Amino acid sequence: MSVYLYRWGKFAFRRKWLVIGVWLISLILIGGIGGSLAKPFQDSFSMPGLPSERATEILDKHFPGASADFDANAVTGTYVIGAPAGEKLTDPKNAATLQAFVDRLNGLDIVDKSVPAVNPIDITKKIGEPAKVDCLSTGDRSSPDFSGICSSAPLNVLNKDNPDSVATIKAKYNIAKFSDITKDDQKKAYDIGDEARTNGLTIELTGSIAQEQGGSQGTSEMIGIAVALVVMMVGFGAVVAAFVPILTALVGVGTAISIIMFGTHWLTVPTFTPILASMIGLALSIDYAMFIVSRYKHELAVANSPEEAAGTAVGTAGSAVIFAGLTVIIALAGLAFVGVSFLTYMGIFGAVSAFMAVLVAVTLMPALMGAFGRFLFKPKLPLVAQHDPEDENSVTNGQRFARFIGKAPALTLAISVVLLGLLAAPALNMQLGLPGGDSMPKDSSLRKAYDLQTAGFGEGSNGTLLVAVDMSKTPQDQRTEALNALRSKLDSYKGEGGLDYLTFAQTSKDGEGALFMAVPEAGPNDKVTKDLVKHARNAESEFNDRYGMEYGITGTTAIYADVSAGLLSKIVPYLAIVAGAAFLLLILVFRSILVPLTAALGFLLSMAATFGATVLIFQEGKFNLVEPHPLVSFLPIMLIGLVFGLAMDYQVFLVTRMREEYVHGKSSKHAMISGYHHGARVVTSAAIIMISVFSAFMLEPNVVAKSMGFAMAAGVLLDAFVVRMVLIPSLLVLMGPYAWWIPKWLDRILPDIDVEGAKLAALKESSAPVALEKEPATV
């Protein structure tokens, strides 16, 4: 591989304008196609085989169309309305304002006229307090108002402090699917309440119509780039060289985002995907380009020409870049094996971003080095990068620290393990959930609607449970008894973190199906609510044995709990797949058994510590940096995929130099020190850049971006600086020559991928004697 990359590097350096031109044309074409075909991003937190699907099947069987509320593509909205302080919505002025709002809402061109919005005051007048309503025995089932009355949430007459102060109105829009929502549609849906707001009512909007359809705001990327620029200026000691990796990063990220936009035309791409792709692409593109430029700077001092230096840099550092990138791609593409659509798309497009980072580093970077020529490392900055880590005679801080590890490897190993263990302890209390209204920015209508509904109806009203009952196997004369028994059972969960209140909704026309609406006391992501769902489901066997009754539980709360549990169960098999594939790849790179094994075990420690730190900050709210929330359900599995790939990057870049020194005859201890001397600065710079890029995403208003940015930054910090630069070197010294042991039979059958560039060195050496033999003849 090194030989092919060496030849390409020389070609790209020599034919720089051709290579740069092809890249620019490709970027313009892909960007144009992606932009023209792009559709809005959309979240669909669904998984096959969830328990809540049982309720959906019952709904579709007995209440056709009732499951539409849980369709990810359904376009609906809920207006949460509050009366002025100290007043009621039933006061004459407020009631008139509310009725005028309902009339305007039903006249809105994007509202489905076949399902008009209903004034909650009218519903309340017909049925009274919901606590006294039993739609199994009340009302005329032949009445067209029956279904609407018995399934609606009326005014908050349960609020004793300020009754009739809050109401909700559901609206269905005539927009085919979520991806068809436009900014103009969202503006219309929100602005329809402006007149009522002027007259004193508070009207906030939640639901799919109000969800943001964008990705990153761009601020995070700019901060990450600025920090990376400073780090590279210090690392290279020059200004121009620091800008070149930024250029490759912009090209790589731009191309990757364009491909993602292209994919939205056919696929349900989650809204977090472009943020994730930006994180990965920006950090990796800069890092990989920096590795090659660093090697190029050294080769300029020893090579015959800049072209030769570029070829050697791409042939050596470029080989490491490719295999480091492969570990990231394997980790991200491995998310497809989890079997969850939104994780699959995030993983695949994340892998696309990683692939583009590798591609621009090994193809565009040598062309840019040729284009800048002798100006690449100018102007030089004083007082920085005075000691070249490639110079064996210079003493760097990295070399000093490596010598300390070499003197006391057991001590440094113990310190690193204890530190990671202490940080990992809070991870035992980790709770998972999915982002809801309470996760939105406080100034957003989604969050205000959540808070207003919580104030009026209780937090559980934001995630009501729907119990769908199937009595097709229940004898007709026992159905009323069976439903009353089920109601009594569900009523027993009231209080102490269970249900706030429970109502019958309706029975099906054939009498074989029924619905209950249950409002938990706690929010959708609260542990006690998830326990409530679990207990209620576990009781089904009792009713099945006694009456032949079956039921399922769905709704936001149930779906969130199912998704969280499903993702948690996927972590171990996913980790096994990714770690197994990367382990085999690292055996090829290092030609060792223990080095890949310790690399994987060290990663487990850094992951546990990262989870613990994230739980402390985001779940427990330590230091008051953020409002505490359960961790988003897909964070652990995404974090494993991302940080595992990045961790193996540092393993490859740092330990390959150590192996190279060991193969050339140094002892395990001195090989570690020498390899550390050569690789510490570039790995440190790369890690700082990664941490900066990821940390900057904590400035995003999206709580998913905040938590993911923090977790990834913490993961890189702990894995790079504690595991790769302390724990692994300590183990290499303690294991001695056994670290590089591999069975002879395995060594024979493994292909020689030549990451260290040994074949490239042999190629140069084989051509050198010819010149030396000719030279004496001319003297």
pLDDT of residue 722: 95
Is residue 156 over pLDDT 70?
no
Query: Residue 126 pLDDT > 50, yes or no?
Result: yes
pLDDT of residue 103: 93
Q: What pLDDT score was predicted for residue 155?
A: 43
Between CA 441 and CA 642 the distance in angstroms is 26
Of residues 620 and 759, more confidence is placed in 620
Q: Which pLDDT score, from 0 to 100, does residue 154 have?
A: 40
> What's the pLDDT at 528?
86
> Tokens 């209780």 appear where?
458
| Cα–Cα distance, 132 to 137 (Å, whole number) | 11
| pLDDT at position 142 | 36
Q: pLDDT-based confidence at 774, cuts 50/70/90?
A: very low
Helices (H), 540-667: 540-547, 556-590, 594-614, 635-663
What does the pLDDT average to over 275-300? 83
As assigned by CATH, the class of the 402-440+570-740 domain is mainly alpha
Q: How many whole angstroms separate alpha carbon 709 and alpha carbon 694?
A: 5
The widest CA-to-CA distance across the chain, in whole angstroms, is 116
- Least confident range of 137-141, 216-220, 259-263, 374-378: 137-141
Highest mean pLDDT (candidates 123-132, 427-436, 651-660, 726-735)? 726-735
Name which of 223-227, 330-334, 397-401, 507-511 the model is least confident about: 223-227
Model confidence at 629: pLDDT above 70: yes
Cα four-point dihedral sign 677, 681, 686, 687: positive
Evaluate whether the domain defined by 1-43+218-381 bears CATH number 1.10.1200.10: no
609: pLDDT strictly greater than 80: yes
Q: 427: pLDDT confidence band, cut at 50, 70 and 90?
A: very high
The pLDDT of residue 506: 75
Asked if residues 249 and 692 have their Cβ atoms less than 8 Å apart, the reply is no
pLDDT for the residue numbered 550: 92
What are the pLDDT digits (tens) for 355-395? 999 999 999 999 999 998 878 887 777 666 555 555 566 67
Pairing of strands 432-433, 499-507: unpaired
* 280 or 135, higher pLDDT: 280
Q: Average pLDDT in the 723-750 region?
A: 92
pLDDT at 131: 37
DSSP reduced 3-state for 210: helix
CATH 1.20.1640.10 in the chain is located at: 1-43+218-381, 402-440+570-740
pLDDT band at 729 (very low <50, low <70, confident <90, very high): very high
Judge whether 607 and 723 are in contact, CB under 8 Å: no
Q: What is the CA radius of gyration of the chain?
A: 31
Fold category of 75-210 in CATH: Alpha-Beta Plaits (3.30.70)
- d(C-alpha 766, C-alpha 760), whole Å: 10
| Order of strands, sheet of 499-507, starting from the edge strand that comes earlier in the sequence | 499-507, 513-520, 465-470, 550-554
pLDDT at 685 over 80: yes
Please choose, from the candidates 557, 565, 646, 80, the residue with its C-alpha nearest in 3D space to the C-alpha of residue 353. 646
Contacts of 315 (CB under 8 A, 6+ apart): 2, 3, 5, 6, 9, 757, 760
Distance of CA 99 to the CA centre of its chain: 43
Residue 769 CB neighbour total at 10 angstroms = 9
Give CA 72 to chain center in angstroms: 19
Query: Is the pLDDT assigned to residue 62 strictly greater than 70?
Result: yes
Mapped onto helix, strand or coil, the DSSP state of residue 316 is helix
Averaged pLDDT, 591-606: 90
Please check the confidence at residue 199 and state whether its pLDDT lies above 60. yes
The Cα–Cα gap between 525 and 461 comes to 12
Q: What is the mean pLDDT of residues 62-68?
A: 74
d(CA 270, CA 286): 25
In this model, does residue 138 exceed pLDDT 50? no
Report the amino acid identity of residue 49.
Answer: G
Q: Which two tokens stand for residue 722?
A: 């504690």
Pair 521, 512: CB distance under 8 Å: no
> What is the token pair recorded at 708?
């993911």
* Residues whose CB is less than 8 angstroms from the CB of residue 634 and which lie 6 or more positions away in sequence, other chains included: 340, 342, 343, 346, 567
Q: Considering the chain, what percentage of its residues have pLDDT values greater than 70? A: 85
Average pLDDT, the chain: 81
Q: How many CA atoms lie within 13 A of 629 on its CB side?
A: 23
Residues 6+ apart with CB under 8 A from 762: none
Q: Is the sign of the CA dihedral 243, 245, 249, 252 positive or negative?
A: positive
For the stretch 516-571, pLDDT in tens is 888 888 888 888 888 888 888 999 999 999 999 999 998 878 887 888 888 888 88
What is the band of 149 on the pLDDT scale with cuts at 50, 70, 90? Answer: very low
pLDDT tens digits, 11-47: 999 999 999 999 999 999 998 888 888 777 766 656 6
State which amino acid sits at residue 147.
Answer: S
Mean pLDDT, to the nearest integer, of 603-619? 92
CA distances from 197 to 84, 122, 190, 456 (A): 10, 21, 11, 18
The runs of H, that is alpha helices, within 192-305 are 194-198, 219-236, 240-263, 273-302
Please confirm whether the linkage preceding 130 is cis (ω < 30° from 0).
Answer: no
pLDDT band with cut points at 50, 70 and 90 for residue 49: confident
Closest CA to 389 of 400, 378, 379: 400
In which residue ranges of the chain is CATH 3.30.70 found? Answer: 75-210
What digits encode the pLDDT tens for the residues 402-424?
A: 999 999 999 999 999 999 999 99
Instruction: Give the model confidence (pLDDT) of 254-265 as tens digits.
Output: 999 999 988 887
State the average pLDDT over residues 157-167: 63
Exposure of 190 by Cβ count < 10 A (0-12 exposed, 13-18 middle, 19+ buried)?
middle
User: 């079956």: which residue's tokens?
Assistant: 550
Q: What is the pLDDT of residue 46?
A: 62
Give pLDDT, residue 203.
Answer: 95
Chain centroid to CA 405: 36
Query: 542 or 339, which is more confident?
Result: 542
What pLDDT band is residue 134 in, cutting at 50, 70 and 90? very low
pLDDT at 416: 96
Amino acid 147: pLDDT: 39
Tokens 């349900």 belong to: 268
pLDDT band at residue 777 under the 50/70/90 scheme: very low
Residue 350's pLDDT is: 87
Sequential DSSP letters for 665-711: T--HHHHHHHHHHHHHHHHHHHHHHHHHHHHHGGGSS-HHHHHHHHH
